[in-house]
């Protein structure tokens, strides 16, 4: 069984950049749904007890989507946590990251690795990473991450994200 990890900070901790209403919906509903659907599928396919990380590349598409949904959000909350110390990206990296986030068609994620490599993934896919160059930041660019507050203004959401990180 997989469980939803509690949000590692208060729902309103990221106000006004990411509002408490969005955080509640995102964590308590969307993230929870990935956990529930992952458990449902694991049980249906009778997959033996596994670590979440080991299901990210699973051959079953539903397992892959749901495991990614759970794992990616765990990481996102960690990076958004006011306690997380991001090695501050330089302005060129922020610009490239923002452009990738704007350019991603549909739903997906943008990732930044320690060596400043920027990676885009679709849906809930988790990137294949060289262990010597770990992920240090990610951004959820699904509409559910910003629609309540920013509606279709993805750029404002991305700008707020970087403002938030610098505080
Ligand atoms: Mn999300």
Starting at the edge strand that comes first in sequence, how are the strands of the sheet with 108-113 ordered?
A: 118-122, 108-113, 135-140
CA of 64 to the centre of ligand 1 (A): 15
pLDDT in the model for residue 87: 77
Question: If you measure from the C-alpha of residue 88 to the centroid of ligand 1, how many angstroms do you get, rounded to a whole number?
Answer: 23
C-alpha 74 – ligand 1 centre gap (Å)? 10
Task: Identify the pLDDT of residue 126.
Answer: 96
Q: Give this prediction's pTM.
A: 0.95
Tell me, what's the pLDDT at 167?
65
Cα(123) to ligand 1 centroid in Å equals 10
Can you say whether the dihedral through the CA atoms of 81, 86, 90, 92 is positive or negative? Answer: negative
- The Å distance, Cα 38 to ligand 1 centre, comes to 15
Q: Which residues hold their Cβ within 5 A of ligand 1, which is an ion?
A: 140, 142, 145
CA 72 to centroid of ligand 1, rounded, Å? 8
pLDDT confidence of residue 89: 80
Q: Give residue 120's pLDDT.
A: 97
Helices 61-80 + 32-44 axis angle, to 10? 150
Nearest to 37 by CA among 14, 7, 65: 65
Q: CA-based Rg of the chain, rounded to a whole angstrom?
A: 16
**Residue 112: partners with Cβ closer than 8 Å, 6 or more residues away:** 89, 93, 97, 118, 119, 135, 136, 137, 138
From ligand 1's centre to the CA of 66, what distance in Å? 11
Residues shown for the chain? 167
144 Cα–ligand 1 center, Å? 6
Residue 33 C-alpha to ligand 1 middle, in angstroms?
A: 11
**Consecutive sets of 10 residues in the chain, 167 residues long: mean pLDDT of each?**
97 97 98 98 96 95 98 97 84 95 97 95 94 95 97 96 85
């Amino acid at each position: 069984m997989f469980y939803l990890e509690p949000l590692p900070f208060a729902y309103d901790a990221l106000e006004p950049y990411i509002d408490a209403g969005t955080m509640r919906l995102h964590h308590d509903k969307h993230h929870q749904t990935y956990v529930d659907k992952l458990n449902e599928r694991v049980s249906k396919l009778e997959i033996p007890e596994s670590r979440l990380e080991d299901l990210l590349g699973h051959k079953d598409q539903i397992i892959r989507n749901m495991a990614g949904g759970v794992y990616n959000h765990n990481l996102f909350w960690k990076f958004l946590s006011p306690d997380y110390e991001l090695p501050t990206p330089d302005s060129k990296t922020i610009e490239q990251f923002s452009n990738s986030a704007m350019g991603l068609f549909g739903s997906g994620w943008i990732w930044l690795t320690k060596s400043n490599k920027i990676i885009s993934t679709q849906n809930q896919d988790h990137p294949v990473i060289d262990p010597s160059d770990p992920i240090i930041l990610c951004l959820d660019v699904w509409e559910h991450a910003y629609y309540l507050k920013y509606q279709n203004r993805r750029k404002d959401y991305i700008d707020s994200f970087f403002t938030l990180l610098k505080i």
